[in-house]
Structure 1
């Protein structure tokens, strides 16, 4: 059994001539338009197995052979279109309209309006890999010293949308300002990353990092360079009031870093951790580690796989990881984001609950 979907595409004015086609997770993001090209009426019929969770993008094969992907109105990346194929009679022979806002044109989203609060201060610190960008925020009207601090991986994605991957961010400063307005201020420290993300965040040798893992180097830099710099600027707050957090590979390195150095971080925020690298090496590594003083936030979305079945299995993997941590850390919080995909939109939605949980559990 399969479900037929008719796609209707709406293209922006000025779209260059060429073949407009559809790609995405069901096609392993192929640039080959064959079988997936929209017809002269901007229509495309495609069949999907029931239970498919598809992230989709429209691309354009130009006459010169180059391929351009849809983007936002400012020439930057755009979020993927999301499609859920339930497989019941209400889903059969459905029509989906895909609106293309623009094409990626090298501007990289320059001029995109800002809807999220930016950092208050930015540093550039020396690091073994060159220079490390550090983005800092603290609440308006609050002394920045002696605040509990949260170190966030993928710092390019946590504040304003300008430097983000696809124009979506965690709106972290907005959520933290709301927490401060209830009497729970904190300092946010975003650590940006570049194309070496897989090397920086994965501690195991895999093809994604060229079998040259750099997570230990990154974590050592946090401990030996970043933390002293923060202490000099904002005062020393101690491990119990210091948290480390990230999503996907950032969740991976958060859990690894916290259990590698027990006693360094009081709280670990592990959002949608990618557990699959190196044949699920992280859960096996975690099984022999403990930090009796640490609190661990674990979560996952229930739409993070290529199918509903895969997603349920991923949620169960994270749940079992939390069960394995019980008794070896001070506290484990586990939650599932209903209808949440593996993206910044989902992490933005779950971040305020994490902040409330973290700040509400601080000593004193």
Structure 2
């Protein structure tokens, strides 16, 4: 196996403790055995072609464990490591997570213009809204799942967002204004987004309830507030499980959405039940965007297998929809920075810009 040398750079004032490396290649273990840095260096033999997300952790003198964070004490995105032969990986730790949770982290992206709350079967549902200045009437409508990751970075999981307002503002500047509605989700994500019972939703899917609410409550509310928008100007989009519920809701309710943005769809739950469910389903008036990054797997080989799966899904859909488009993000992992980079192209394609 290739020899990988990790070289560590720490921020000033790092407290004393035992520094070690963990990641999805170790199932995020807190055991430092065999993974401890010595004078800022760690040597490891790792499989060739491995794609791994890694973080530095610290065992404190009192036995507690701390994890690296950003410079403001918030959660940081994991380091992305691709093993292609013997290599040296430079790991720079910006800071350490603390009780503040990154409360002082400055935003890089614009927040929504407005936030409201609607009643839903699962309780109060936050609705985050953005539209360009000077466009107060009905506009083409994009509904995005995982709304906590869509606009500014403050509510995101690891400090990265889609910068949807920035992408939509550029679209508006090119003459194609749109309204974005983003729906944050909590720990109930697997239940709300996965339409089949499996381990992570406790074998109790709430996807139909969620899709019913979007169609029967959210859309009527937005139409009453801003003016009716026809189906051909209404888009639904999301990533990972959000891509799964996008495809499911669009195919379940043909005629509701004119465009579906299926980013990095996670179709594996319940032994790929979605691929069997979608057989023969479609919407002759809908356009479907499917994409995948070429680093979305735990190895180069598995990432290529996922790309093939998403491409075949697109080919299966093509005869049953108005248009199906598949794209691959080069060097893209399964994360917000990748979806942020692909969002502008999707917006332009949606609006024919």
Residues 280 and 320, structure 2, Cα contact 8 Å, conserved in 1: no
The number of residue pairs the alignment matches comes to: 353
Instruction: State the Cα deviation string for residues 303-336 of structure 1 (Å, max 9, x = none).
Output: 0000000000000000000010111011001000
Structure 2 matches for 1:114-193, cutoff 5 A? 114-143=107-136, 145-193=137-185
- How far did 1:74 drift? 1.3
- How far did 1:276 drift? 1.0
Q: Which of 70, 94, 98 is the equivalent residue of 1:105?
A: 98
- How far did 1:360 drift? 1.0
Following the alignment from structure 2 to structure 1, what is the Cα–Cα distance between the partners of residues 13 and 192? Answer: 40
Counterpart in 2 of 1:69? 67
- How far did 1:225 drift? 1.5
Counterpart in 2 of 1:259? 251
In the alignment, structure 1 residue 284 sits paired with structure 2 residue 283:
no
- How far did 1:26 drift? 1.1
Counterpart in 1 of 2:320? 328
Instruction: State the Cα deviation string for residues 266-318 of structure 1 (Å, max 9, x = none).
Output: 10000000111111111111113111111100000000000000000000000
Instruction: State the Cα deviation string for residues 46-69 of structure 1 (Å, max 9, x = none).
Output: 111111111110111223332221
Three-state SS of the structure 2 residue aligned to 1:314 is: helix
Counterpart in 1 of 2:229? 237
Structure 1: 5+ residue stretches without partners:
none
Q: Which of 301, 306, 316 is the equivalent residue of 1:309?
A: 301
Residues 79 and 91, structure 2, Cα contact 8 Å, conserved in 1: yes
In the alignment, structure 1 residue 199 sits paired with structure 2 residue 191:
yes
Following the alignment from structure 1 to structure 2, what is the Cα–Cα distance between the partners of residues 355 and 99? Answer: 34
Three-state SS of the structure 2 residue aligned to 1:151 is: strand
TM-score, structure 2 length as denominator? Answer: 0.98
Counterpart in 2 of 1:81? 79
- How far did 1:347 drift? 0.5
Following the alignment from structure 1 to structure 2, what is the Cα–Cα distance between the partners of residues 84 and 187? Answer: 38
Structure 2 matches for 1:42-53, cutoff 5 A? 42-53=40-51
Question: What's the RMSD between the two structures over aligned residues?
Answer: 1.1
Three-state SS of the structure 1 residue aligned to 2:319 is: coil
Following the alignment from structure 1 to structure 2, what is the Cα–Cα distance between the partners of residues 98 and 185? Answer: 41
Following the alignment from structure 1 to structure 2, what is the Cα–Cα distance between the partners of residues 37 and 30? Answer: 12
